[in-house]
Structure 1
């Protein structure tokens, strides 16, 4: 039933790269303290932070969203909660433009325990990475904390670490950090899948197809067009043009 309801409100499939045998092991063998998350996700890995800093801020945010799929899927057999995956879908939309979903706060009281606690923390890390990209801040810090958390909760982190290395190499090559354009182009969600054959010229069409598919979405995190316009969105909602996106960055 939960799966049917999710299908009715989701455009994105569960990524193939997280469908690893054993990842949804129901046994909880890691320590968890809702009041001391820093014990498992700090200090940040400075080498990882430096690698992430070599890519654009949108690419860092895309990496953070893609990485969080590992954690959300790890616990998907232990909860029927729909919101995490709905939020990740909206997060990919925010990479096209931050007006597509309103920045909101996660009620930590609703996300506690060894299952919901890590899931709520992952959502907060994605949210913070997007906010930092939006203001040209430091999304790498949040990405590093999330990565460490993922390693902590997975039954076997080896497949995730392999994915992490491959996607970082891919994003650094495709979306290198540029001082005069630190935000960079949006990243299609497909590019986070190592099995996807990346053709950079396909990016605009993939982004437009994705964002068009969300028009009229029942996803509670997506903003309707009138809200986007009221918040200052000056282009056509639920359409994507790379030229318009680049022009908006230049004017900004």
Structure 2
């Protein structure tokens, strides 16, 4: 949720000003959605990514409720941050990349997303690529590839990770299909998420990349699975 001193009136004014300054980067439908739901961060940690990224960019989120910090903490715990990290599907605003780079003592973070608002980075070790990531790109091999709800880019992340034997961590998106309408009410993971977990588990074992681990960030109102490989040490 947002900081306690943020009122609904103040929040609305800040978002209106932000959209005015960045209007060319948002469609009319996106702007309409943002303003119709601008106050969701006052009630939940898991607002839509469009809103959540703006909240983070404007420093409106309390640290205890910042899901980007939560994901960064998980990466640090399992892999460390001082390495060369590749993020796929960073969104319009590279909030996760910025959180990571501020805690890195060495290494880099490179973010790919065709919707990035800017490729100008305020940090020398944060590289922004306004393009789609594909496994055909010729790039230096990273130490870790990550994605925070990258939706359709999930397959590219996994394909690259297994082809190059690169460690990975992905917070899976909440993608739904027809099968989900027939699931049990207490079954919170979608059919698509279960399929990705099944595929990843098989390929982690096949490529000798350790064991597939699954966690959630329920503290931040996000019940969806985060998957990553854990090698034997």
Q: Normalised by the shorter chain, which TM-score bucket?
A: under 0.3
| Highest RCO, 1 vs 2 (Cα 8 Å, sep ≥ 6) | 1
Normalized per residue, which structure has more strand? Answer: 2
Q: What TM-score, normalized to structure 1?
A: 0.25
